Amino acid sequence: MAQGKRVGYVRVSSVGQNTDRQLDGIELDKTFTEKASGKTADRPELKAMIDYVRDDDIVIVHSMDRLARNVDDLRRIVRELNAKKVTVQFIKEGLTFTGEDSPMATLLLTMLGAVAEFERALIAERRDEGIAIAKANGVYKGRKPALSKVQATDLVARIKAGESVTTIAKHYGISRETVYQYKRAAV
């Protein structure tokens, strides 16, 4: 019987974050690294990893919240991998799922996934409350505008003159969406 591959999946939420610590010291045959939010399961490296793995492979992930941010996605991804006869191992939680798991293992997956989802919601709630308090105290001013007032006026004039949004975005080094936001604000 052939030994499967040990495949790592690493995810951080933004490009600036470091991925090194997640599976440091763990021997892997291949690693898929994602620098994207986990709010959706529609992530290129996750899809590539799921397509890559075969019977008897082991997918190793630092923790459940690295694979998915909500219970539904977590359970669906683990079931999808298990259906391919792939084992899923979470290092931080010390849990392994093979598809032949006991009801207790399924309960643990669901409960720990729910705790991670709840924790994420609490963090977002505290962040939003902190911003509201800072705004009320006049401390929080929001994000700095992408363009100066002079540039914004010029941008709007260029749009009215019929110049393409893409050309304007390239000129100012901003996204097309930001151009549209300035356009909407000028109306």
Domain count, the chain: 2
| Containing structural domain, residue 61 | 6-115
Catalytic residue status for 13: yes
Query: Is 130 among the domain residues?
Result: no
Look up tokens 């902190």; give the residue: 130
Same domain, 77 and 162: no
Residues 68 and 74 sit within 8 Å (Cβ to Cβ): yes
SS3 readout for the chain: CCCCCEEEEEEECCCCCCCCCCCCCCCCCEEEEEECCCCCCCCHHHHHHHHHCCCCCEEEECCHHHHCCCHHHHHHHHHHHHHCCCEEEECCCCEEECCCCCHHHHHHHHHHHHHHHHHHHHHHHHHHHHHHHHHHCCCCCCCCCCCCHHHHHHHHHHHHCCCCHHHHHHHHCCCHHHHHHHHHHHC
Tens of pLDDT along 117-174? 898 889 889 999 998 998 899 888 778 889 999 999 999 999 999 999 999 999 999 9
Is residue 135 in some structural domain? no
pLDDT of residue 102 exceeding 90, the answer is no
Amino acid at 62: H
Residue 3 binned pLDDT confidence (cut-offs 50, 70, 90): confident
Residue 46 falls inside a structural domain:
yes
In this structure, are 20 and 73 located in the same domain?
yes
| Domain membership flag for residue 82 | yes
pTM: 0.67
CATH number, domain at 55? 3.40.50.1390
Any domain includes 126: no
Higher pLDDT, 100 or 89: 89
Q: Are residues 12 and 77 in the same domain?
A: yes
108 lies in the same domain as 168 = no
Q: Give a yes or no: residue 122 inside a domain.
A: no
Task: Please say if the pLDDT value at position 14 is more than 80.
Answer: no
Same domain for 25 and 79, yes or no, is yes
Instruction: Select from 90, 115, 140 the last residue of a domain.
Output: 115
Structure tokens at 176: 């097309």
Please indicate, yes or no, whether residues 22 and 111 belong to a single structural domain of this protein.
yes
Q: Cα(69)–Cα(114) distance, rounded to whole angstroms?
A: 9
Evaluate whether residue 136 is within a structural domain: no
Query: Among residues 13, 102, 148, 164, which one is catalytic?
Result: 13
